[in-house]
Structure 1
Amino acid sequence: MSEYSLLLALNLDGAGNDPNDSALAALRAESAEFHGVSFSSDGLLDSVQRASFVAAKTQRIAVLPVIDALFTEPFHTATQLASLDIISHGRAGWILETQNDSVQADAVGRSILPEDQLSTEAADVVTTHRRLWDSWEDDAVIRDEATGRYLDATKLHYADVEGKNFSVKGPAITPRPPQGQLPIIAPAPLFTPDGLQHCRLNGADVVKVNAANLDELLAKAQTASSKGAVAIELDVYLDTAGDTGARRAAEQSVQRTPRAEFIGSVDELISFLKKFAEATANPEDQRRHLVHLHPGDLRIDASVLLDEVLPKLKHSNLLAPIGDTLRETFALPVAKNRFQEAS
């Protein structure tokens, strides 16, 4: 098993509608040395707004908004994510989802997509983001007072994306993000011959696998890790001094999710995380793998994670160091600009 290979992210849904509560929870996670925190829309603020508020309040922890790739405008989300990366000084990533339901589709005047088109649509969306983020070269902003030029126009490029259901001309309206390309985490079913590709120029950096049980989850993660970085998601119900995770999970049976569940003690969770690190260790590829934890009850389970699980993990040499950017944390290569490389 490789040392320093594991990344941990904590989902903060349930922190409350006040963004200050999310910021406080993120600061606690940062102090405990979580690598990242994630956000969905809470009904009042969308995930990027929540992440942006937290990014301005934190120093080292990554911010990971969950954003749908089907019924959002790629040009706008590319701009939002680039701005988030600027606010966070390179700590932003994107957890990509495909929310293919009629409510989302009706809201933007579209129809739900056939299942066999989801991966190609996601690939078109990711390609759009990738090309827009490269559409400004790193030295495009010159601020030349003598000539009155803010930009060197030769350093801007058209994205020129022609997708199946949309097209984007570009260039972007914001400078290139500090990371060049934000890490993108996307579900495994989207990685198809006509869809997303793993660790490619227009692909996603991290493949997110899911399974009905923990053994199957480990097996899928091991297979996916042969091609690059992997993420798994767990709903976590942990035992406490006066209660059991099993009892609390049973009480929430109506609200359970399709994600794999871990129900048990702190030591049992650490044992599972060690198995995940062993299953995904690859001496030929030093990219790191992510465990995305969703507390069953943020108030209870997050406290156990922060106060008991993280301290023990730090002594086990399982946790990877936190880099200056999220790409560094994932041990991803520097993102070169495709247009600059081609010139």
Structure 2
Amino acid sequence: MLAQKNYFLLPQLLLAAALFCSCSGNSNGKTNQSTASAEKKDSTQVEAIAEVKENPYKPVDSAKYYELQKYLANGDTTGKWPVKNDPLPINGAILPFNRIIAYYGNLYSKKMGALGEYAPKEMWRRLNAEVAHWNRADSVIKAIPAIHYIATVASGTPGAHNYYINRMPEKQIDSALAIAKMHNAIVFLDVQVGLSNLHNELPRLEKYLKMPNVHLGIDPEFSMKTGALPGRKIGTYDAADINYASAYLTKLVKENNLPAKILVVHRFTQGMVTNYKNIKKQKEVQMVMHMDGWGEPELKKGTYRHYLYSEPVQFVGFKLFYKNDLKKAPNRLMTPEELLKLRPKPIYIQYQ
């Protein structure tokens, strides 16, 4: 009986052995799969690490940077200029190694500035002449051309979202970029938010702001926080708004390995920018406070002195109006030679 019992157990033992072998084989397979998976993961990590590259743009010469900042201060002895706690910018910084000479406007309008007033070839003939004049006037800092295009335009009508703005179609922004490319110029996209805000408007331009040659301008004049309509009153930005724009650009620079960006902030009254001391400077973003009021030379110099010289941030700009600056005596534009006598010297010049 015992032998018979063992006989009947034999198939079961054979089955158990087979199952054991099968399980052992599966276990080895899982181990091999796990090993392969781990190796693949390690390989992926190595590839990911290999993809992290250093910023490929030209490194900043720190000695030259601070030397030029002192040059721009133009002998100021008050301690305001050069600005204190000025961070050395990341690779690819344009300022203060170059002076930007920009034509401003919108391609839909001949009344908003020189950019839209002339056909591209004629516009470039005029802009290149201004760049050449600046290079003759200042042999220390090279002048380079730029296109400053109003991509979001304040409007007298409410529009689809009651924001009182017109957002330019991408084909028009693409046209502005194409015009800039004709002479290898950098581009500024300007935002007039109306009853909207920067949180709504900047993401709409993100695909362009990710481009290494595209920078940003924001205009407090048309930031209507009180609900007043654009053009009826002068709007305002607080340091918090400017810091938001700067942080937005900083994030894009870091995530896309871009050169330093430039942020231009328009200003011609005290109330257009509040709490300037709270504006945060970033090494990824170069800040230009831009005097864009129109009028006779003495009025413009007074505005510059009261609102830009007296409230230093980092760099300064100056706008010249081909038409409005001529309305009152002495009925002329200020020259590069005159502007270079200002304290500090402007590094961003805009013609409208």
TM-score interval (norm. to shorter): 0.3 to 0.5
TM-score (normalised: structure 1): 0.38
Structure with greater Cα Rg: 2
* Greater relative contact order (Cα < 8 A, sep 6+): 1
| Structure with greater proportional helix content | 2
TM-score (normalised: structure 2): 0.37
